Amino acid sequence: MLRKSKAYRISILALFIAIIMVQNFVPLFGYIPVGPLSLTTIHITVIIAAVMLGPLDGGIVGGVWGLLSFIRAFTAPTSPVEPLIFTNPLISILPRILIGVVAGYVFIALTKTKIKPVLSLVITAVVGSLTNALLVLGMIAIFYRTPAVAHAYGVSDPSLITKVLMATVGTNSIPETILAAIVVPLICLPLLKHRQAKTK
């Protein structure tokens, strides 16, 4: 009963947002700096929110992350590239909202099939992480073929930026995706079982 009440929905949503804020502003917890970009762990929180609370709340949690990284790009950058890129709301906010929405709907679609829960959680995590990675890097490729960003990545020629972005997919997005694929099932599986046991 408790888990169906509005009070529960509000408090769990608020706590997820609090986790996002902690991850954004406590150094070395939400972001692990590796080279010019930083490896993030925040998408895991968003994917878990999307799986446990649905696409709408997942989108809200993702939106809070986007908004915070937008504000942070102006005020408290963690890496040299950040102020150049994330000051554009299309790069900082939109992909993050979509992680929650996409992951939420993918999980709902997968629960209707006969795929085992573990596997469907892994797929959801991978799809969610890739949504973020591809949209952010794709948007960077579209908007920022300028010398300043290329220099921050350590390239002198702007046309090389696409190659650098491909390298970023390798160094950042793949570890991020693997991390999500490991952590999301570990956390969501017991919680989902717990929830099913209570509603029966």
Partner 1 sequence: MNKFIFGQYLPGTTLIYRLNPLLKLITAVLLIIASFVNHSWIGFVILLVICGLLIRMSKVGWKFFLKGTKFFIYIILLTSIIQVLFSKGGQVYWHWGIFTISSFGIHIATLAFFRFLIAIVVLTIYLMTTDPADIAQTIQGICYPLKFVGVNLDDIGLVAAIGLRFVPTLTDEVTNIKNAQKARGIDFQKQSIFSRIKSSVAIFVPLFMNVFRRAEQLASSMILRGYTDGKKRTHLRQLKWSKFDSLALIGVMIGFCGFILIFCI
Residues in touch with partner 1 (CB under 8 A) = 2-3, 5-8, 10-19, 21-22, 25-27, 29, 32, 34, 39, 41, 44, 48, 71, 74-80, 83, 147-148, 151-152, 154, 156, 175, 178-179, 182-183, 186-187, 191
Shortest approach of partner 1 to residue 148 CB, angstroms?
A: 7
Q: Which is nearer to partner 1, 11 or 162 (CB)?
A: 11
Q: Which is nearer to partner 1, 25 or 143 (CB)?
A: 25
183-97-13 Cα angle (round to 5) = 65
> How is 27-78 classified by DSSP, letter by letter?
TTTSEEEETTEEEE-HHHHHHHHHHHH-HHHHHHHHHHHHHHHHHHHHH--S
Residues 6+ apart with CB under 8 A from 64: 17, 20, 21
- Residue 49: both structure tokens together: 């929110």
Q: Which is nearer to partner 1, 8 or 138 (CB)?
A: 8
Strand 37-40 relative to strand 31-34, pairing: antiparallel
Q: Which is nearer to partner 1, 75 or 113 (CB)?
A: 75
Fill in the amino acid letter for 160. Answer: L
Task: Report d(CA 95, CA 176) in Å as an integer.
Answer: 15
Q: Which is nearer to partner 1, 138 or 146 (CB)?
A: 146
Shortest approach of partner 1 to residue 127 CB, angstroms?
A: 19
